[in-house]
A and B are shown apart, each in its own frame.
Chain A
Amino acid sequence: MTPPNSTLPWERLTERSPLAARIAAHTAQAIIERRHREGELITESELADANGASRTPAREAMVQLETWGLVRLAPKKGAIVTAVTPEERRDLLAVRTLFEANVRPDAATADALAEALAANLERQESALTRSDLLDFAGADHGFHSLLIQSSGNSVTMEILDRLGPRLARLTYQVIAEHPERIAVFLSEHRVLARHLADADREHYAELVRAHISAGHADAVTVAP
Chain B
Amino acid sequence: MTTTPASVPPVPRREPAVVEIDRKALRDHVSELILELLLRGEFAPGERLGIENLARRINVSPTPVREALVQLERTKLITREALKGYRVAPPLDATQMSQLSAARLMLETEAVRLATPLGAEGVERLRAAQRRHAEAGAGIIERGEAAIGDAELTGHYFACDTAFHRVFIESCGNPFIVEMTDALGAQLHRMRQTVSHGVTDVAEAIAEHAAMAEAIASGDPDAASAAVRAHLLRVQDRALRAAGPLGSPGPPSCTH
The yes or no answer to B247 lying at the interface (CB within 8 A) is: no
Segment 184-211 of B: residues with Cβ below 8 Å from A: 184, 187
A156 and B99 contact, Cβ closer than 8 Å, known pairs A45-B1, A67-B74, A95-B176: yes
Mask for A79-96, Cβ within 8 A of B = 1, else 0?
000000000000110110
A63 and B27 contact, Cβ closer than 8 Å, known pairs A94-B174, A159-B183: yes
Segment 183-218 of A: residues with Cβ below 8 Å from B: none
Interface residues of A (CB under 8 A from B): 14, 16-18, 20, 43-45, 56, 59-60, 63-64, 67, 73, 75-78, 91-92, 94-95, 98-99, 102, 151, 153-156, 158-160, 162-163
The yes or no answer to B70 lying at the interface (CB within 8 A) is: yes
- Are A153 and B24 in contact, CB atoms less than 8 angstroms apart? no
- Are B23 and A75 in contact, CB atoms less than 8 angstroms apart? yes
Contact residues in A for B24 (Cβ distance below 8 Å): 73, 75
Contact residues in B for A75 (Cβ distance below 8 Å): 20-24
Contact residues in A for B180 (Cβ distance below 8 Å): 95, 159-160
Residue of B nearest to A92 (CB): B176
- Are A63 and B67 in contact, CB atoms less than 8 angstroms apart? yes
A158 and B76 contact, Cβ closer than 8 Å, known pairs A91-B174, A95-B174, A163-B176: yes
Contacts A45-B1, A155-B96 supplied; 17 other A-B pairs, CB < 8 Å = A43-B1, A60-B66, A63-B27, A63-B67, A67-B71, A67-B74, A75-B23, A75-B24, A76-B17, A77-B1, A95-B174, A95-B176, A99-B106, A154-B96, A155-B102, A155-B187, A163-B176
The yes or no answer to B138 lying at the interface (CB within 8 A) is: no
Contact residues in A for B96 (Cβ distance below 8 Å): 154-155
